[in-house]
Every structure is written in C-alpha cells, then in structure tokens.
A = this chain, B = another copy of it.
Amino acid sequence: MPRISQRASAIFESPFRKYLPLAADAKARGVDVIHLNIGQPDFRMPEIDFSNLDFKDYIPYGHAEGEAALREAWCAYNRRFDIEIDPENLLITTGASEGILFALMAVADVGGEVIVPEPFYANYNGFAQMAGLVIKPIFSSITEGFAIPVKEEFEQAIGPRTKAILLSNPNNPSGKVYSRETLEDLASLARRHELFLIVDEAYSEFLYEGFDFFSALRLEDVDENVIVVDSVSKRFNGCGIRVGAIASRNEEIIEHIARFGRLRLSPPMLGQKIALAALSLDRDYHQPVVKEFASRRDLLLSRLSQLPDVIFHAPEGAFYMLVRLPIKDSEHFCAWLLTDFQYQGKTVMLSPGTGFYATLQKGTDEVRIAYILGKERLSSAMDCLEKALQVYPGLKKTVSPAASTQP
C-alpha cells in the first residue's frame, strides 16, 4: 500500500472539527446549539443584482492575476484607507487563504521559519505545514491586552532560517488592533533582518470606537518587505465567493506569486464579478454592521465582567474575542458543553483556545467566542456559559476576583 506524505499526515487539523459530530449528536438529542465557533457572521451581503452577472452562456478563464477591473476597483477602494497601491502590485487570489499559502511559499523554502505573534489564526499552522515551514511563535498575553512583545523578543527569535514575520491585523482570534507604532517597530525589524512582513488584513473593515486601522501598505521604506493579504469574504459577508487579494510593492515577489497563480489558471470568475460590484458600492455598508458588532461586543463584555475568574481583553476590531476561563482544559470544556451540558434546552459551541497557540500548554484555559449572531442568541449563549461555569467538573481550584483589561 502506498504511503501518504509526511506533510499530509502532519497537517494541522482544526480542533473544532472533532466537535462537529458532538454538535450533531447534541442537536439530535433536541439541544439547541448556539454556534459561536465560526467566523461567518449573519449579516446580509450588500444588495447586488445576481441576475446581472453578464455571463449569459460562457464562463471563460479569467486572467491569472485577476480581472483588471477588479484589481483597479480594489486599489480605488484601498484609497479609503489611505493606501496607494497600483493595480499591477495587487493580485486577486482565491480567497485570502490562497494568498497566505502563496505568500508563505514565496518567502521561504522548506525548513524556513516564520515568526508569528500568538494567538494567531489556527490555519496558519496548516499552511505553514503545507509549505514545509516552521512557525516560531512569539507569545502575547491576554493579561497584557495582547500587546505585541517588545523588539528584544523578536530579535531573540530571529535566526538564520527566519524569512518572515506573519500576523493578522486586526487579530483573529484576539480582536487586537495593532497601532501604527507597533507596525513601524515590526517594519524596522523586517528591514534590519531582511525579512518579509506579511500582514493579513482581512478584518480591516471592523474596528471599534477609539481604534484606527493602519495598513502595512502605509509603512514607509519597507516596500520590499511588506506583503498584505486581503479578503472580500469577510468585508462583505461573501465568504463563499472565494475572492481575496495579495499586494506588495516588491515587484519580484508579486511576479513570482503571479506565477503560482498562473499554474491554477484563474480565480473564480463569478466571485470576481460580485467582488467588483461590492467594492464599487458606497462604504455605507459597513457602518451599521460595525455598529451592530460593537453592540454585540458590549453585551459580551457586560456579561463576562459579571463572571468570577474570567479574564478578557475587549476586542478592538474584528468580531472575535479570547476569554480566559477558570477551566483546566479548554478542549475538554468545549466538548463537554456539547456532550454533557444544557441549560433551558440550549448549549453553546465555542473554539478551544489551544488551536490558536503554537506554544504547548498555551490556550488550555481559553476559548474563542465569535460574536457572529444576534444579541438574543448571544445572550442565551452567555446564560449557558454562566451556568456551565457553575457546574463544569473541570474547573480550576483557585478562585480570584473577576479581572479584565478593558480599555
């Protein structure tokens, strides 16, 4: 029997997948499972006339680099964020996911290292494994509001095999928004050590009061180092259209990423049509969406602050938060919520924190909440969490007063 490759057998499997059958079983028992485990909000897309896709009977390959009109529209849209980038420096990808994989494969060969502040988007692990790279995590702590560690910690982590720093801004899962100063510090590191700085800006549209988004494409004197990955999926709640972008003023890297793209011929054409329509709309789409997310966030903050021994940092952007609970094993807790718990016929599905850390033993007492449902559902979910923490058998023994690092 032929054997599969090591890279395939080693591939990171998202821990939450183990819970899908448990959730199905709970539903089969009649339990109402409130899904706060995935990043797919319940908002409508902008109103787009799907009947007017202008493919009447023929859907050809598009340009490997993406359709010219979409690349231009994306660049024009970027000006709203004070980003000046030329269409030839921005390629359309099949979702931001493809952009991450292409970027990793273009910046490092097998055995190369990428520094990633943790917690980080769990699938970075898998993409790094596909590309044969090693993620070197730099720990950022919930108790310090996920502030990016000082330069010295990065300097220590940078070795001869280090090729890039990768992060998402705003951060999934922490909701942290990195300041201009933080990004400038990273840029100077990247410049000094000749590293790429890959920033996943998929959530740039989702920012709460008091926080500004500063794109890595606005950094000065690091044009050769900066690669930005972007997405229409999150921006317009069109997760299934699979359209993202990758941008860099480093022409060599863009040309070589384009070569990866040419192998797969073209990004999805129907999705690109929709993305073009969405990016050409007024920005008004996001104001009510962000307002609603803010009010959901505030509901969570209010409920969580009433729970003993719960630590959290108020999200500054995106629609996720990591919460430290007085539990010993978040994977067990998330499973237990589905297998052994219900409150008034309901339970809540969360993501265990462990999936967002590369360092062992980190995240074992944290869960990620994606506040992608309306306040009524969120409120029920918080009822469940509150009750669960009263009866869960795997609680930590020590009990201290409630704490938070709300801004």
Contacts and interface: CB of A to CB of B under 8 A. Distances in A.
Nearest to A94: B94
Interface in A84-140: 94-95, 97-98, 101, 105-110, 112, 123, 126-127, 130, 132
A224 B106 contact: no
Contacts of A265: 95, 97, 239, 242
A268 B195 contact: no
Interface string A256-286: 1101101111111111001000000000000
B47 A264 contact: no
Contacts of A257: 8
A4 B240 contact: no
Contacts of A270: 240-241, 268, 270-271, 274
A80 interface: no
B2 A127 contact: no
Contact of A8 (B50, B237, B259, B262): B259
Contact of A5 (B2, B12, B105): B105
Contact of A260 (B3, B11, B40, B225): B11
A83 B95 CA distance: 33
B53 A50 contact: yes
A256 B101 contact: no
A17 interface: yes
A94 B108 CA distance: 25
Interface string A390-402: 0000000000000
Q: How many copies does the complex hold?
A: 2
A256 B107 contact: no
Interface in A241-260: 241-242, 250, 252-253, 256-257, 259-260
A346 interface: no
Contacts of A11: 256, 259-260, 263
Interface string A139-174: 000000000000000000000000110000000000
A256 B241 CA distance: 24
Contact of A106 (B8, B252, B262, B266): B8
Most buried by B among A2, A262, A267: A2
Contacts of A264: 94-95, 97-98, 101
B8 A94 contact: no
A57 B45 contact: yes
B241 A268 contact: yes
A58 B233 CA distance: 11
Nearest to A271: B268
A259 B3 CA distance: 16
9 contacts: A8-B106, A11-B259, A58-B237, A61-B239, A94-B264, A110-B110, A242-B266, A242-B268, A268-B271
Given A5-B109, A45-B58, 5 more contacts: A5-B107, A8-B259, A50-B51, A97-B264, A240-B270
